[in-house]
A = this chain, B = another copy of it.
Amino acid sequence: MGAMPDKPAYPPAPELDVERWYNTTAPLSLAALRGRIVVVHAFQMLCPGCVSHAIPQARRLHALLKDSGIVVLGLHTVFEHHAAMTPVALEAFLHEYRIEFPVGIDRPSGDNGMPRTMATYGMRGTPTTLVIDTEGRLVRHSFGAEDDLALGLLLGTLAGRA
């Protein structure tokens, strides 16, 4: 009888498929960020739960972590109201909400449905939080509000082990 693993085996995190990046001088990719812990906040600018909870949490996380090895990214996963949540609208949103971390627009599928990264990950909606460890594994994928303490504990644990 084989030994039981002492922790779950996490799958590799699929690459992000981003049409356009904001708040960064060059395009980003999970491949290029290998070796760092990455937190991805998938959101829509007209999603109330994103605006009231996930975006403020991402801003605070970015402010806390910007001098650490942990990277905070936003991903604009527009799956509804496509005519409203355009790039020019997102740009105004990033400005008004003082978002300084890099944000990518998830590449549209072309049929007004789920954009490509959202579909690849099988996200259930917005907000969704992804946490990727230094080896590129997806250690957390959650839909809805993330608790600050629990998210801090997870990220700290990954950082402490790294």
Q: A2 on the interface (CB 8 Å rule)? A: no
Interchain CB contact under 8 A, A92 and B85: yes
A60 to B51, CA, bound (A): 19
Question: Shortest beta-carbon distance, A54 to chain B, in Å?
Answer: 13
Residues of B within 8 A of A86 (CB): 84
Q: Mark A119-154, 1 if CB is under 8 A from B, else 0.
A: 000000000000000000000000000011111111
Question: Shortest beta-carbon distance, A135 to chain B, in Å?
Answer: 14
CB under 8 Å from chain B, chain A span 47-82: 47-48, 51-52, 57, 60-61, 64-65, 80-81
A contact patch SS: helix
Q: Mark A25-63, 1 if CB is under 8 A from B, else 0.
A: 000000000000000000000111001100001001100
- 16 additional contacts, CB 8 Å, given A81-B89, A156-B157, A156-B158? A48-B97, A60-B147, A64-B147, A64-B149, A65-B153, A80-B92, A84-B88, A85-B89, A148-B148, A149-B149, A150-B152, A152-B153, A152-B155, A155-B156, A156-B156, A160-B161
Chain A contacts to B: CB under 8 angstroms: 46-48, 51-52, 57, 60-61, 64-65, 80-81, 83-86, 88-89, 91-93, 95-97, 147-162
